[in-house]
Chain A
């Protein structure tokens, strides 16, 4: 797999230490003899403050001492470059994690100590204990924020996380002191709303992750409580179909940010994709006000398809599969559902769920989003994801036929999975981004499932399993050699 790269140049105006013509600048640098300017080619798509550009900054920072020592640039030049292209020191991620863990320990310790309920103290003292840490943490965060770009990531993470936890502790203690009613997830909702700006301004991944988890937990609780809790108008007014997407949009000022440039780190992407998927599934479960309706199965498939087809730019498409958790989660969910639908009863329920889902506004919104994303994916040539996403359309196509039995759909799903596998393998051999291994795995699982159902002796089943397993291993070995030869990544886009 090769990403598209556009070169940009760092122009270094240098003087020869000996006063003569400048010397060769080392690997990656070119000298313009007329101007005496060195150009250092660094590849970066559009030179953005992204993870990639930070890597280039670090590379530059590592070269500067040698260039300075060899007289290629002056100390002043080096200083100017360091200031302009600031790089986090190595271990920045480790520092960030250490900062976040430290803050988490302090914050949760604080909550636990305060939550002990010091009812020997008068209310005023308990309130001071609750609000004091919040005030202190706000002062620290303000100072960190005032330092601007010179504030280290671990400082930002720690300050944001401690303040987040202090804000939660303050709300919990006040609620404890006055014996306020309400379930803990309602508190989580308010906590998320007042602390998410810290993720924006302090660029805190930890607070963003906490926020994403918090809003997903709240949404699930809202849906789970339908019909269980005394449904007051306040609860009934909470329409998660509106609220969850709104809350999810609360992360936009951080990712992609005002300049549309920021990307979450891979670990954060996983949390973002997983919580968004779970939250949207909860919304799908609540898409119809009646509890226990049967529209969920197909809405869940559409949700998975929309997630799988989430629009990416060129750089995003070129990234390896493991850096795109939305593709992994959405694809796996679709493939899993499709395998389940190769059985008669689930297939029948799935087709039935289309009838329940189609009158719902949420269903049409999902369809519109999925169709739009599919059109863009088609235009970008993301054929592998389109192929997998297509399994979500099958129940819709089967619904008008109103089959009384699930078998036609179950068989259609087996064939659709087989076709998907063949396309995924074929794409790779046609030089496109495919997923040959996934295709091989689909065929293998399909054969295993059908053999498990088949009315044949255990001996035959055993021999077939051995044959299929050997074939799968051989296919993997073949794909590995094929990729080495073609030097193609072959990850699904």
Chain B
């Protein structure tokens, strides 16, 4: 095979591998992961390449720092527990990997809390839920209206081996797409 064809073949394979790796990892997670629901906020920005989405921000963005945590950004393993309202909340944070069906790996940055105790700011492994151009703006309006009434969107997330994938966003227990379609009518 000519060198140019070989280089082309490698590039072509890489062009497949990159998206397929994402597909494989997330399909596996969706099929086998544990379902949890997390309360969050979700305004409506725009991504240059991927279009309109709702920025999903879990309500729990800070927590008490685990024992022995240094300054800087480190991965932490959060074990979630589902409460009586069906929503998952952080039960514990660990600097060491933890195994469990409701464990998720987060990024944490140590901050000084107002009462001078050690706290961490958390970054969740999902931050957006894509919608099409038709539903995006309507979802944003609906979300704002519900937010004023005290209703919070809920992220439906699958967890497996510390990884997470956002599968749906619920408004009053109903998938956001469905809610928006009903509301638009």
Give chain A's interface residues, CB within 8 Å of chain B: 111, 115-119, 127, 130-131, 134, 138, 141-142, 145-146, 163, 167-168, 170-181, 184, 187-188, 190, 193-198, 200-202, 230-233, 236
Contact = CB atoms under 8 A, between A and B. Distances in A.
A167 B49 CA distance: 12
A349 to B, nearest CB: 31
A197 B165 CA distance: 32
Nearest to A199: B11
16 contacts: A130-B19, A138-B15, A141-B8, A172-B50, A179-B56, A180-B126, A180-B128, A181-B125, A188-B49, A190-B18, A194-B18, A200-B4, A201-B5, A230-B107, A232-B123, A233-B107
A179 B126 contact: yes
Interface SS of chain B: helix, strand, loop or mixed? mixed
Contacts of A119: 130-132, 135, 177
Contacts of A236: 73
A105 to B, nearest CB: 17
Q: With a 10 A CB-CB cut-off, give which of B26, B74, B125 has the most chain A CB atoms.
A: B26
A194 B19 CA distance: 11
Q: With a 10 A CB-CB cut-off, give which of B11, B15, B127 has the most chain A CB atoms.
A: B15
Nearest to B14: A194
A172 B8 contact: no
A197 B19 contact: no
Contacts of B11: 194-198, 201
B128 A179 contact: yes
B132 A117 contact: yes
Contact of A197 (B10, B23, B50, B53): B10
Interface in B5-62: 5, 7-8, 10-12, 14-16, 18-20, 22-23, 26, 47-53, 56
Given A115-B50, A117-B52, A117-B133, 9 more contacts: A130-B19, A131-B16, A167-B15, A171-B18, A176-B50, A181-B126, A200-B4, A230-B123, A232-B73
A116 B73 contact: no
Interface string B112-137: 00000000010101111111110100
A198 B13 CA distance: 12
B8 A232 contact: no
Contact of A116 (B8, B56, B128, B132): B132
Contacts of B88: none
A200 B2 CA distance: 13
Interface residues of B, number: 45
Nearest to A178: B26
Nearest to A138: B12
Nearest to A230: B123
Contact of B51 (A115, A168, A231, A233): A115
Given A117-B132, A145-B8, A184-B47, A131 B123 contact: no
A430 to B, nearest CB: 49
A413 B167 CA distance: 62
A233 B22 contact: no
B179 interface: no
Contact of A181 (B12, B23, B128): B128
Contacts of A230: 73, 107, 109, 121, 123
Given A115-B50, A179-B165, A195 B130 contact: no
Contacts of A231: 73, 109
Contacts of A145: 4-5, 8
A200 B107 CA distance: 38
B154 interface: no
Q: With a 10 A CB-CB cut-off, give which of B16, B19, B74, B131 has the most chain A CB atoms.
A: B19
B75 interface: yes
A168 B135 CA distance: 24
Contacts of A130: 19
A176 B177 CA distance: 15
Contacts of B132: 116-119
Contact of B19 (A131, A196, A200): A131
Closest 8 CB pairs of A and B: A197-B11, A117-B132, A174-B19, A178-B26, A201-B4, A167-B15, A179-B166, A181-B127
Nearest to B131: A117
A197 B6 CA distance: 10
A326 B108 CA distance: 44
Contacts of A115: 49-51
A233 B74 contact: yes
